[in-house]
Amino acid sequence: MKPGLSIISLALIFLSLSCNNSGREEQDNPEETTIANETEAAPLPKDVIYASKPLISGILYARPSFGGTIIAHFDTSQQLHIIDTTDNVFVKVRLLQDTSTHTGYISKIILPEKK
């Protein structure tokens, strides 16, 4: 037998054993798996229709107009609480940024389509 072949064989055996052990750990403690699967997001406030993250960075306006006063800038990592969708172009949103909360309007076009 070649020396290189035995090292590869040992590596394959080690990998297969390590994969089997990780499966056993999950089976040994099914309660942890169940708790993780049952964890839900915190409920939204009653005035919020749904929560979403914008597709692109944008601007939060004080009124439903692109000429309105700018309240804040936001990026795609921030979650927006959608409060009102009755306007044809804008939606009213609540934005938590740092330690303050801002309420204003953003363009509907930058939100993903709600399913």
For every one of its 115 residues, what pLDDT tens digit does the chain have, with 9 covering 90 and above?
Answer: 555 556 666 665 655 555 554 444 455 555 555 555 555 667 888 999 999 999 999 999 999 999 999 999 999 999 999 999 999 999 999 998 888 999 999 999 999 987 6
Whole-angstrom distance, CA of residue 92 vs CA of residue 80: 10
Three-state DSSP at 36 gives: helix
Q: Would you kindly state where each structural domain of the chain is located, as residue ranges?
A: 3-38, 50-110
pLDDT at 12: 59
CATH of domain 50-110: 2.30.30.40
- Exposure b/e, 39-72, CB count within 10 A at least 16 = b: eeeeeeeeeeeeebebeeebbbbeebeeeeeebe
